Chain A
Amino acid sequence: MSKLGNLGARLHRGEVGYDFVGNRKIWYGVSILITITAIVGLAVRGLNMGIEFQGGAVFTTPKTSVSVAQAETYAHDASGHPAVVQKLGTGGLRIQVAGIDTGKSDQIKDTLAKDLSVPSEQINADLVGPSWGEQIAGKAWEGLAIFMVLVVIYLAIAFEWRMALAAFVALIHDITITTGIYALVGFEVTSGTVIGLLTILGYSLYDTVVVFDSLKEQTKDITKQTRWTFSDVANSSINSTLVRSINTTVVALLPVAGLLFIGGGFLGAGTLNDISLSLFVGLAAGAYSSIFIATPLVADLKEREPQMKALKRRVLAKRAQAAEAGPVGEAEDDSFAEEPQDAAPAVVGQRSQPASRNRGRGRPSGKRR
């Protein structure tokens, strides 16, 4: 795609770009709105917990000729909940429905008996406990908490605490949005959903870390120059990894979209839909938050540092001085030099190297000396 290819090149040269950091307030606003919607959804509608979490009723039928798919439909109609139906070795069916109390289960039993045309007393109804029980869910939370602590520590060491904090905020943001969507859509939360959520968690962090890695690299010697503020550099770093972010997100989302739309189209609602919805929403949110939320947040936090404040003052002073374009790059500055003439003023900081770097270009090794 030459257009895309060119876009990459132009992003690289800083000819085009979007001022992510400058417009951060807009995106914060968007995120806050979505998050509030999600929280309201959670509060009002609540999550529809599946049988693994809250237990439910299990109906065991005698031998019947009704197919599994049909029984699923009957049970769903009778109870209003998606049902898990398994054929037993005896030829009967085991139908599990979440969130049913004793009174309701009798009613469903009668309906099922009619649907399956078997006598009602031959259907055995029992309440099942949550197979996920408090133990599994509790341990999952425990693991999650330990992981969060470790990851924040790790990021604080590998990068810095501001980035750790921003990554954490982005993560909470993604999880809130995903669970909120679940509450709004009303899908049942199954073990698959939880696993989907955990997948997202890993991915969201992963994505954020990739973006931060480039940010860290580009802001290494930021105080040694007076052309760009931290925000400018942060912005250019997002823009320079934008191609990678877009590509990765597309590559990750395509198969999931396939699952969600194609798989869902084939089958209608089902576990596959449950899982792929959480994955789809989460992956999209994860990609979005690492670009629009996490990095601007780091810039926000960094700009409060006295060092960065001083830098900003210097930069602004210098810009005011330079009435005409074409400032000279700092000699000691490795990563910020030679801005192309046509760069948009807001878009900055590209990683081209000063002329001195071109020595030894012709050498196969790429070594300079």
Chain B
Amino acid sequence: MAAPKKGRSASAQSKPGRSLALILIAIAALTGGMFASGHTTPRLGIDLAGGTSITLTAVNEPGQPNAINKTNMDTAVEIMNRRVNGLGVSEAEVQTQGDRNIIVNIPRGTNSKEAREQVGTTAKLYFRPVLQRDASGTGASASPSPSSSAGGSASPSPSSKSKATSGSASPTSSATSQGRPVTDALKATSTPSAKSSASAAASTKPSASASPSSSAGSASGGAAGLQAQYAALDCSKPEQRATAGKGAKTGEPTVACGKDGNVWNKFLLGPVAVDGTEVKKAQAVYDTQGAAGWQVQMTFNSSGAKKFADITGQLSQKTTPQNEFAIVLDDEVVSHPYVQTAITGGNAEISGSFTQEDAQSLSNMLSYGALPLTFKESSVTTVTAALGGEQLHAGLIAGAIGLALVVIYLVVYYRGLAAIAVASLAVSAILTYVIMSLLGPTIGFALNLPAVCGAIVAIGITADSFIVYFERVRDEIREGRSLRPAVERGWPRARRTILVSDFVSFLAAAVLFIVTVGKVQGFAFTLGLTTLLDVVVVFLFTKPLLTILARRTFFANGHSWSGLDPKRLGAKPPLRRTRRPSAPVDPKEA
């Protein structure tokens, strides 16, 4: 206490105007941004605003009568939940209904079309080598002469054939058993040395299917039929797209459609090289060094990394389009990056002319892997608010009344100081509102009723910060100091208290945000935001404002309505008569 730290407080006291200007400019800029973006209200959760409800029904796939079980349904719920609520702040809800339905509720205002695509159609994700690619709808593609697509050297059609004959139990089971990728099964059948020879298997595969000639040998005639199918396929027609490549076996080549910008392409694809479940993590990043723009970085697990290294090693030797591998999502090619070099180590980057949205949605698809089941959308309907609008309405009215009471209380107790308190509260409220509104479109942040209540409680926490400070200042005045020194001396101690206690709140928010999912995460986000704003407002607004006002005679002279009247506060009589005239302290004794 002897000498208050003169670090930041010194600069703060010398330039209170600067901090005030800073925060006011920030408010103005954010508010301007809010109006410019056209999102002037925070997005509300389902409980308050309703939204879209999608019912998805798990479809029985041939050969897997027992796939639809509680475990798989729960896994699917988990994956969908991550997809629609990746950041945990969008308030989307996913739950099972009956034993084969999943209901996904998406709050109004989120892009429901996008969400439907994310949850409903995202069934399975595979990496397949591209054998042929043509713009579709531009007439019949040149019938792929065997030579054009022949890139493979060995043609171990045995592998594909043996698969076809040796019962398709393993590949199909792999569709459901997460993490036991198909290629394992393939290897097991094609190479005697089972798993150890991942490279061998993988290397034979793309080339195996590469040449139609090899498939000509296949008894099923599937591949030959496939060529015909490919030639006939017109991806610009929706009805053709709907059927193209449906039900493709993982171990066999297939056809698929894909969209590049506005152009539909059709693809002839080799068997699955890597299963989507082997992607450990993917994220969209902006390339700050190079000029690659948005990229998707993905990390494979160890077996996926091995396979990926092999396939890319293969592909990099080839020419377009056979140096591409297709990322196939639910039988549609979502991306077909080409490979320049073998990518080992399990980390890959996909770059292209991605928009941020593209990159994020691709990384989402990659991250959240493949669903264990196939679902069909059985109904999409709008739902009204689960709580009814009157709850929010009543909540806001009650909150407003409560706030009015707070203001009255502060005025009664703190008098003139209440003006500062109320102004600080107003600044906090504006900042919170504006930031929440802006976060709606940017990260899909949505407010539910608990969060609204939490924000109301946060008012109390914000108010506490300046109550702590005011009480400090008043204590200093009671010691007999005049106002300006009291304001400065009270600050370091008050600042410490504020920081220590806000740190605890922020710690809670950070831990919960990192660890939890769903609504709790949304709550943690709100708590963290309000805590940060509390610190910002106290430091940049309340303190500088008090510093400035302390120079005003109304406060400095301790007007009886200023809330800083030494007499009223019962300041001790000064022990020496060396007081500055600006702050007369009436001795408190008869």
Q: Which residues on A are within 8 Å of B, measured CB to CB?
A: 1-2, 4-6, 8-10, 12-13, 55, 58, 68-69, 84-90, 94, 126-133, 135-136, 139-140, 142-144, 146-147, 150-151, 154-155, 158, 191-192, 194-196, 198-199, 201-203, 205-207, 209-210, 213-214, 217, 240-241, 243-244, 247-248, 250-259, 261-263, 266-267, 270-272, 275-276, 279, 283, 334-335, 351-353, 355, 357-358, 361-368
Closest to B572 in A: A352
Contact at A128–B103, with CB atoms within 8 Å? Answer: yes
Residues of B with C-beta under 8 A to A144: 512
Contact B501 A209 (CB under 8 A): yes
**Does B391 make an interface contact (CB < 8 A)?**
yes
Residues of B within 8 A of A88 (CB): 53, 381-384
- Whether B508 pairs with A13 at a CB distance below 8 angstroms is no
Decide if B385 touches A86 in the complex (CB within 8 Å): yes
A-B contacts, 16 of them at CB < 8 A, read A8-B569, A86-B53, A131-B95, A143-B524, A151-B504, A192-B453, A202-B504, A252-B460, A253-B460, A254-B406, A255-B402, A256-B402, A256-B460, A262-B402, A276-B453, A361-B574
B569 lies within 8 A of A259 (CB): no
Q: Taking the complex as formed, is B489 at the interface, i.e. its CB lies under 8 A from any CB of chain A? A: yes
Task: Enumerate chain B residues within 8 angstroms of A9, measured Cβ to Cβ.
Answer: 478, 568-570
- Given A203-B461, A259-B453, A136-B569 contact (CB < 8 Å): no
- Verify B453–A196 contact, CB threshold 8 A: yes
Q: Are B456 and A259 in contact (CB under 8 A)?
A: yes
User: Across the interface, do A154 and B503 meet the contact criterion of CB distance under 8 Å?
Assistant: yes
**Among B97, B388, B503, B517, which residue has its beta carbon within 8 angstroms of that of A69?**
B388
- Which residues of B557-590 have CB atoms within 8 Å of chain A's CB atoms? 568-570, 572, 574-576, 578-580
B298 within 8 A of A: no
CB neighbours of A6 from chain B (8 A) = 568, 570
Range, interface on chain B: 35 or more
| Cβ A143 vs Cβ B570 within 8 A | no
Q: Which residues of A contact B73 (CB under 8 A)?
A: 129
Inter-chain contacts of B402 with A (CB < 8 A): 254-259, 262
Contacts A131-B94, A271-B391, A366-B485; A86 near B460 (Cβ below 8 A): no
Stretch at the interface among B253-261, B271-279, B463-471: B463-471
A106 and B509 alpha carbons, distance in the complex (Å): 43
Q: How far is the CA of A272 from the CA of B397 in the complex (A)?
A: 12
Of B212-220, B238-246, B341-349, B409-417, the one contacting chain A is B409-417
In addition to A131-B93, A143-B516, A258-B398, 4 A-B residue pairs with Cβ atoms within 8 Å of each other are A140-B516, A150-B507, A209-B501, A272-B391
Interface residues of B (CB under 8 A from A): 1-3, 47, 50, 53, 73-74, 77-78, 81, 93-98, 101, 103, 381-388, 390-391, 394-395, 397-403, 405-406, 409-410, 412-413, 448-451, 453-454, 456-457, 459-461, 463-464, 467-468, 471, 474-475, 478-482, 484-486, 488-489, 493, 496-497, 500-505, 507-509, 511-512, 514-520, 523-524, 527, 568-570, 572, 574-576, 578-580
- Which residues on the B side are within 8 Å of A90 (C-beta)? 381
CB within 8 A of B505: which of A142, A202, A255, A262?
A202
Could you tell me if B580 and A362 are in contact, using CB atoms closer than 8 angstroms? yes
| Contact between chains at B457 and A206 (CB < 8 Å) | no
Instruction: Decide: A2 near B391, CB < 8 A? Known: A210-B497, A251-B467, A364-B484.
Output: no
A84 and B386 contact, CB distance less than 8 A: yes
